[in-house]
């Protein structure tokens, strides 16, 4: 009898031991599972987004401001950003996009050198599942969305200023720019606004969006049009406006006509603050706001959200009347 009791006690101890081991194992598995789940969640939350940004150039203060704002905002978002300048070269920008694809970026932000010509590179990114968001100018090839200034409005504001100042009549010069949607919209806004007036465009040439070419083009226009025949100049951006003013000064015709540009750049604001400048106004853009919005749109696309096809950032006409209140970039 005593032997049977001892045997029962031993069996009880063994069973209890097995139960405790089983309970401990389950507890460890649950803890391990929770840790893995927690770890995976943290990894997902901490996954860094890699962004490729290709800009027309970094010689224009507008794009410098955009680049700096993009880098600052990327830090806030905890994202990595690679910024490259295409130097107004379509082949170079195409290569940059191809390199972004090879590097495995999650998102491409594109400031196109040529809105139509870049379509092939955009299509390559799209085929690899990399979303492309266009910034400042539109682009073909399958972009997810475009964030741009209201460039048509920029042209309208410049035209309205001239119509009021010239009393609805006079001779004006238009200095055009690169074949991108932003420039096309500005010129369209300007020309369509003056259609029903007696303001005539007596010269129109391509200033290519830079100061040097703007200077050359304005020199040519001044040589072809004798003094007293030009009342105002609409320049597609501020670097061109500055180039046109330099040509005007060199020809000693600074009292003949004034110039209105587009950008609201620091260089033009500085020029307007100086006495005797013939730059009367500029339709001011907001490059920092534009690039940040483009980055937000890109992240929304990565998160599977639907986005607007085109988002337009309003512009403001800066003249001598409101120069002191303009905050600038």
Report domain extents, the chain.
Answer: 50-148+287-313, 151-285+319-325
pLDDT at 22: 42
Residue 319, strand partner residues: 281
CB atoms near residue 155 (< 10 Å): 29
pLDDT at 224: 98
Do 50-148+287-313 and 151-285+319-325 agree at the fold level?
Answer: yes
Record: fold of 151-285+319-325 = Rossmann fold (3.40.50)
pLDDT at 275: 82
How many whole angstroms separate alpha carbon 31 and alpha carbon 252? 83
Record: fold of 50-148+287-313 = Rossmann fold (3.40.50)
Using CB atoms within 10 Å of the CB of residue 159, give its burial: 0 to 12 exposed, 13 to 18 middle, 19+ buried: buried
Residue carrying the six token digits 């540009």: 261
pLDDT at 8: 41
Q: Are strands 50-55 and 80-85 parallel, antiparallel or unpaired?
A: parallel
pLDDT at 27: 45
Q: What is the pLDDT of residues 90-112, one digit of tens each?
A: 999 999 999 999 999 999 999 99
Q: What is the pLDDT of residues 5-47, one digit of tens each?
A: 344 444 444 444 444 444 444 444 444 444 444 443 333 345 7
Q: What 3-state class would DSSP assign to 30?
A: helix
Q: Which one, of 258, 229, 221, lies nearest residue 241 by Cα?
A: 258
pLDDT at 234: 99
Residue 50, strand partner residues: 80
Residue 312, strand partner residues: 148
Ranges in the chain, pLDDT < 70: 1-46
Q: Are strands 316-319 and 279-284 parallel, antiparallel or unpaired?
A: antiparallel
Residue 209 and residue 60 in contact, taking contact as beta carbons nearer than 8 Å: yes
pLDDT at 165: 98
Phi, psi angles (nearest 5°) of residue 199: -90, 130
Strands across the sheet containing 132-135? 80-85, 50-55, 107-110, 132-135, 145-149, 310-313
Residue 152 and residue 184 in contact, taking contact as beta carbons nearer than 8 Å: no
pLDDT at 40: 37
Q: What is the pLDDT of residues 138-148, one digit of tens each?
A: 999 999 999 99
How many whole angstroms separate alpha carbon 123 and alpha carbon 118? 9
Residue 181 and residue 148 in contact, taking contact as beta carbons nearer than 8 Å: yes
């Amino acid at each position: 009898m005593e032997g049977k009791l001892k045997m029962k006690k031993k069996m009880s101890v063994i069973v209890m031991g097995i139960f405790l081991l089983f309970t401990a194992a389950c507890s460890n598995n649950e803890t391990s599972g929770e840790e893995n789940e927690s770890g995976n969640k943290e990894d997902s939350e901490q996954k860094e987004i890699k962004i490729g940004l290709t800009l027309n150039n970094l010689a224009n203060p507008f794009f410098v401001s955009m680049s700096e704002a993009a880098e600052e905002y990327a830090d806030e978002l905890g994202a990595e950003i690679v910024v490259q300048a295409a130097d107004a070269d379509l082949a170079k920008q195409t290569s940059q996009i191809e390199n972004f694809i090879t590097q495995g970026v999650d998102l491409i932000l594109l400031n196109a050198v040529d809105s139509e010509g870049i379509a092939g590179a955009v299509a390559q990114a799209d085929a690899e599942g990399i979303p492309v968001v266009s910034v400042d100018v539109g682009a073909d090839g399958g972009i997810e969305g475009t964030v741009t200034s209201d460039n048509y409005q920029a042209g309208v504001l410049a035209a309205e200023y001239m119509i009021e100042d010239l009393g609805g009549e006079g001779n004006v010069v238009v200095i055009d720019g690169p074949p991108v949607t932003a420039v096309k919209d500005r010129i369209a806004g300007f020309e369509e606004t003056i259609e029903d007036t007696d303001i005539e465009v007596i010269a129109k040439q391509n200033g290519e969006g830079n100061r040097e070419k703007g200077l050359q083009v304005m020199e040519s226009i001044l040589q072809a049009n004798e003094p007293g025949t030009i009342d105002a100049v609409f320049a597609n951006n501020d670097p061109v406006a500055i180039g046109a003013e330099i040509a005007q000064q060199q020809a000693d015709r600074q009292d003949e006509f004034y110039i209105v540009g587009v950008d609201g750049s620091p260089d033009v604001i500085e020029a307007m603050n100086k006495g005797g400048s013939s730059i009367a106004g500029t339709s001011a853009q907001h490059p920092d706001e534009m690039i940040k919005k483009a980055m937000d749109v890109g992240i929304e696309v990565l998160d599977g959200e639907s986005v607007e096809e085109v988002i337009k950032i309003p512009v403001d006409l800066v003249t001598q009347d409101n120069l002191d209140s303009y905050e600038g970039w």
